[in-house]
Amino acid sequence: MKNVFAHRQHPYYLAFIVHRLSGIGLAVFLPFHFLVLGLAIEGDAALDGFLAWTDQPLVKAAETLLIILLTVHFAGGLRLLMMEFVAWSDRQKLIISSGFAASIGVGLLFLLNG
């Protein structure tokens, strides 16, 4: 009997899932971004209070996760563009892995810089 879920073992499927989950994570972040923009409009005191709160280690970790989500989603978008416009090859597995590793690296560099 043929396994109907065999496609879920493929690296391209994992790249698809990571791209979708990173997009959902970014969509969850968006209302908080608008909230901070609203604080900036309210005045300096409200924004300064929020910025002081962001110095906490847990917030710094969340910012790092956000940067990783952003770079993973960007890499996933580039992967989709490559699938659309570039000839298909087995080398794309290496490119997908390299893009994911670079995304994690960018997030960690952001953490070290902060």
Domain 10-113 has CATH 1.10.3720.10: no
Give the distance from CA 72 to its chain's centroid.
4
> What are the tens digits of pLDDT across the range 50-108?
889 988 989 888 888 888 888 889 888 887 887 788 777 777 778 777 877 888 888 78
* pLDDT higher than threshold 70 for residue 42: yes
Domain positions in the chain are: 10-113
**Rounded CA gap, 52 and 24, in Å?**
27
Instruction: Give mean pLDDT, residues 5-32.
Output: 84
pTM over 0.75: no
